[in-house]
Amino acid sequence: MSVRVQRDDFDIGAELAALSDGDTGIGGVCSFTGLVRDLHPQAGEGPGTVRALTLEHYSGMTERQLEAIEAEARARWPLSSSLIIHRYGRMEPGERIVLVACASAHREAAFEACRFIMDWLKTKAPFWKLEDTSSDGARWVDARHSDDAAARRWE
Amino acid sequence: MLKLLYFAWLRTKIGIAEERVAVPEGVTDVAGLIDWLRGRGDGYAEALANLDVVKVAVNQEYVPFTHPVAAGDEVALFPPVTGG
């Protein structure tokens, strides 16, 4: 099990390969990759609106929260291994922000645990997005009620 | 002393990311601390006007506004999170 909070990009292929390397009891790896997008459907803004995102985080608490979320996933599902990588700093559209991956003997556990980790991460990990937009400059992204609802499903 | 941390738009409204203060007289919990902070200036008052959009962590764990604060604590105030 592993949590990394870093400024640098990551190599999805290498990370997923490493997750199951040497464990032939693993039947499947499920992963989610979050990307910076350049549009803002909630605000009715189309492609090209978001020029960049800057992610701020609470160093120390971030790692603790992510480790607690990962531990909770491993308590709920039989995972052979798991990984959370979350970036901070400035990123442009198309760049990778987050990778969550779960490996298990069976696909069900891997799928569910991956979704659970993302849902809890969205509402518990102390990150904040500052958007640089072409419409009105820099603005902080608001939390979404739909994310709260998604996280509550697992409680 | 208390170590106070502010993030995202709370940080920009208050104007600093971090400060150390002596535990104010009469302050025993997070709610009391926030009341005291509001009196320190317009930036604080504006940042802490609506507690529906303020989250609190004491020593890096989420806590309610009723949570006690004491010398040596690290208290962070920030908006609802938007990572992922």
- CATH code assigned at A36: 3.90.1170.40
Is a pLDDT exceeding 80 seen at residue A40?
Answer: no
Is a pLDDT exceeding 80 seen at residue A45?
Answer: no
Burial A64-89 (b: 16+ CB within 10 A, else e): bbbeebbebbbeebebbbbbbbbbbe
Is a pLDDT exceeding 80 seen at residue B13?
Answer: yes
Question: Mean pLDDT across the stretch A68-89?
Answer: 98
Question: Mean pLDDT across the stretch B6-12?
Answer: 98
| Spatial distance between the Cα atoms of A130 and A52, rounded to a whole number of angstroms | 8
The answer to whether B17 faces chain A, any CB pair under 8 Å, is no
**Looking at beta carbons, which residues of chain B come within 8 Å of A97?**
83-84
pLDDT of residue A108: 97
Q: Which two tokens stand for residue A18?
A: 């490493």
**Looking at beta carbons, which residues of chain B come within 8 Å of A125?**
81, 83-84
- Considering only the beta carbons, identify the residue of A60, A86, A140 that sits closest to B9: A140
Q: DSSP 3-state assignment of A106?
A: coil
Domain hosting residue A73, numbered range: 2-152
Going by pLDDT thresholds of 50, 70 and 90, the confidence category of residue A39 is confident
- CATH code assigned at B20: 3.10.20.30
* Averaged confidence pLDDT in chain A: 95
Query: How many CB atoms sit inside 10 A of residue B42's CB?
Result: 10
pLDDT of residue A122: 97
CB pairs under 8 A between A and B: 68
Is a pLDDT exceeding 80 seen at residue B34?
Answer: yes
Query: How many CB atoms sit inside 10 A of residue A102's CB?
Result: 30
In a mutagenesis test of the B interface, which of A35, A58, A97, A123 is the best target, namely the one with the most B β-carbons within 10 Å?
A: A58
* % of chain B surpassing 90 pLDDT: 100
Are the Cβ atoms of B84 and A58 closer than 8 angstroms? no
Domain hosting residue B23, numbered range: 2-78
pLDDT of residue A73: 98
CA distance B28 to chain A (A): 23
- Considering only the beta carbons, identify the residue of B7, B80, B82 that sits closest to A58: B7
Q: Which residue has the higher pLDDT, A48 or B64?
A: B64
| Spatial distance between the Cα atoms of A124 and B68, rounded to a whole number of angstroms | 21
| Spatial distance between the Cα atoms of B75 and B58, rounded to a whole number of angstroms | 5
Is a pLDDT exceeding 80 seen at residue A63?
Answer: yes
Q: What is the largest CA-CA distance in chain B?
A: 40
pLDDT of residue A48: 82
The region of weakest confidence among A4-8, A61-65, A102-106, A140-144 is A140-144
Answer whether residue B84 is part of any domain: no
Count of the separate structural domains present in chain B: 1
**Looking at beta carbons, which residues of chain B come within 8 Å of A56?**
7-8
Per the listing, tokens 């690290």 go with B74
pLDDT of residue B25: 94
pLDDT of residue A84: 98
Are the Cβ atoms of B60 and A140 closer than 8 angstroms? no
Residue B22's Cβ-count burial label (10 Å; 0-12, 13-18, 19+) is exposed
Count of the separate structural domains present in chain A: 1
Are B1 and B22 a contacting pair, CB within 8 Å?
yes
The answer to whether B81 faces chain A, any CB pair under 8 Å, is yes
Question: Mean pLDDT across the stretch A4-16?
Answer: 98
Answer whether residue B83 is part of any domain: no
Question: Mean pLDDT across the stretch A135-155?
Answer: 91
**Half-sphere CA count of A42, side-chain side, radius 13 A:** 7
CA distances to A51, A59, A141, B81 from B13, in Å: 23, 20, 15, 17
pLDDT of residue B29: 98
**Looking at beta carbons, which residues of chain A come within 8 Å of B60?**
58, 60-61, 64
Are the Cβ atoms of B84 and A61 closer than 8 angstroms? no
Nearest to B37 by CA among B4, B7, B12, B67: B4
